[in-house]
Structure 1
Amino acid sequence: MNIELRTIDRENMYDVIELQVADEQKKFVASNSFSLLQANYEVDMYPFAIYKDNELVGFVMYDLDDEIDMYGMCRLMVDKKYQNQGIGKLAIEKLFDVVREEHGNVKFYTSAEPTNTVALGLYEKMGFENTGKIVYDEVLMIKQL
């Protein structure tokens, strides 16, 4: 399986917006349209389309959060048709590579709602440590890249 992170542009923007998580996951992640709008108007937000073998399957975005003074993965979603295939894990690994290339071996955060046990479990498997802190109503997790 070949996973790539690609820039979002005029060619794939509408397709990224159309990606959907399962209904029970919608409470955990902002829509891709909101995320792209946010990235357009806020500084230091970096959105990417996730492709599996040249097929669009998800969305990921990282940012520089001024309040915690750290780069981190602020969005991750895999379309409901492509979940449970290991795509999220591979996309996170690709994102780690991008961040290391752009910013070096920095501390890197992510977060998830306390009830989102699937995301929290994935992030722990990816080496994120639970800080025990709640930021923006979510569990803050940190990994040294």
Structure 2
Amino acid sequence: MSLTHTDVTAGPAQLDPCGHAEQVDCGIRDVLDRVGDKWSVLVIVELSNGTRRFRELQRAIQGISQRMLTLTVRRLERDGLVLRTVYPTVPAQVDYRLTETGESISHLVRALADWSIEHRDAIALARRTYDAQHPDNEIR
């Protein structure tokens, strides 16, 4: 190294979960975005109870619009978590169920939902306390 060398020497490379030194998420973020969004969690939790028709899902998931439910089940179907079955009736009957992959994650998603219910009051209190102490905060 020369006397005029002023660059900071980097420490050991930080490895991502896939063992790469560069910033690569190996699809983890994409999967978590899907199974971690509010509507997907609620659809998976409901389908973990068994096969449901579209309207049954919509009635069971409070606040979801028809369009959002359609988008959510399509995304879950695309990801291989939900199977959509159309029966040749008039009008067509459609039902949804979890695939084997969907079933394999359902206990984790259900645990997250259960944890959310169990801790919602404590989180709400923490938010109110924080907001009272930081009235100009932009997080809300």
Give TM-score, length-normalised by structure 1.
0.26
Larger Rg: 2
**Which has the larger helix fraction?**
2
Give TM-score, length-normalised by structure 2.
0.27
**Which has the larger strand fraction?**
1
